[in-house]
Amino acid sequence: MRILSWNVRGLGKIERNLIGSIWGGRYNDWVSIPARGRSGGVVMIWNTKCVSVVESVIGEFSVSIKIKGFDGNDRWLSGVYGPNSARERRLFWEELAGLFSLCGRRWCLGGDFNVVRFASEKSNGGRATRSMHDFNDFIRETSLCDPNLHGAEFTWSNLRENAIWCRLDRFMFSTDWEVLFPNTRQLALTRVTSDHCPILLDTISVKWGPTPFRFENMWLEHPSFKENFRNWWLTSDSSGWEGFRFMRKLNSLKLKLKTWSKETFGEVGKEKKEIEITIRNWMRKTGMKVFALSKEGRGKI
């Protein structure tokens, strides 16, 4: 199972057309709470062909769904958006404590908590605050696992000249969730269009064979591609019934495309990874870190 959390602005009113533009295809469903002005709001979307949701709970600061597991073990997933005011934060922790009582055995929650756990999770450091103490008290009392974040040190920036960076976004889960998914990994993806980066929680540990073949659009822009493609298709042939011959021609074409692409464009995948590493190193040196549940106004997925 893969769960994406991304805090973005400006989704507006949640309706089926909007959900379709975010998550293509007919097989989706969702639950949400509306934004309040320019903040708050949570929408949780899932693929109905892969996930069977049997119950949902909508709170003031969270949306939760109960997922029917194929192994017979139900589990809960909550998307949260933490408030900024001290009074609302007290209500926020009370709401999460209530969710723990409901979902605690197999529970995962993620989103923008709008507070860090430690001073080291802020680029400008500072002293421990009451909100930080409350956050750590909640984690200690619920025994939730707060896994390491791979790919970035911080998840949010104010994007100003003298920028501040914080880790406001994270996934956490109960011990029984960890038993169900012992290889869960939390990864910060590259930040685009938002002051937060998307965070991916990946529970998949099995590699199902080689990476599938993908057609690259850049091939079409090369002046010799169409002529080469025509020649490759016409010159590759084999004996046997039509279906078998067709599959053999496709396999031959795939191999020739891979060879031609490598000779013409180089190791594209390797070069892409090297560029991503260069960008991340530059971000670390300059203080810009890669940046996490999608929403209405500003929220979660």
Q: In terms of Cα–Cα distance, which of 192, 37, 32, 170 is closest to 114?
A: 170
| 271, part of any domain | no
| 112, part of any domain | yes
- Residue 275 main-chain phi, psi, to 5 deg: -65, -40
| 89, part of any domain | yes
| 235, part of any domain | no
Q: What is the pLDDT of residue 171?
A: 97
CB 7 within 8 A of CB 169: yes
Q: What is the pLDDT of residue 89?
A: 94
Q: What is the pLDDT of residue 301?
A: 37
Counted residue by residue, the chain has a size of 301
| 103, part of any domain | yes
Vertex 176 angle, CA 172 and 178, to 5°? 55
Q: How many domains, the chain?
A: 1
* Residues whose CB falls within 8 Å of the CB of residue 296, separated by 6 or more in sequence, listed in order: 11, 12, 13, 14, 32, 33, 34, 35, 40, 41, 42, 43
Tell me the mean pLDDT per 10 residues along the chain, length 301.
81 66 74 78 88 94 91 89 92 96 92 95 90 96 93 88 90 91 88 85 67 81 91 80 80 88 81 70 49 36 37
> What CATH number did the domain enclosing 158 receive?
3.60.10.10
Q: In terms of Cα–Cα distance, which of 172, 103, 125 is closest to 144?
A: 172
Q: In terms of Cα–Cα distance, which of 59, 149, 44, 148 is closest to 97?
A: 59
| Strands, E assignment, 127-220 | 149-150, 156-157, 165-166, 169-173, 185-188, 199-202
* Residues whose CB falls within 8 Å of the CB of residue 291, separated by 6 or more in sequence, listed in order: 152, 154, 155, 156, 157, 188, 191, 194, 195, 196, 197
Q: What is the pLDDT of residue 131?
A: 94
Q: Give the integer Cα–Cα distance in Å for 259 and 255.
A: 6
| 299, part of any domain | no
| 231, part of any domain | no
DSSP state of 185: E
| 268, part of any domain | no
Report the predicted TM-score, pTM, of the whole model to 2 decimal places.
0.68
Q: In terms of Cα–Cα distance, which of 211, 225, 294, 245 is closest to 19?
A: 294
* Structural domain containing residue 107: 2-208
Q: What is the pLDDT of residue 12?
A: 58
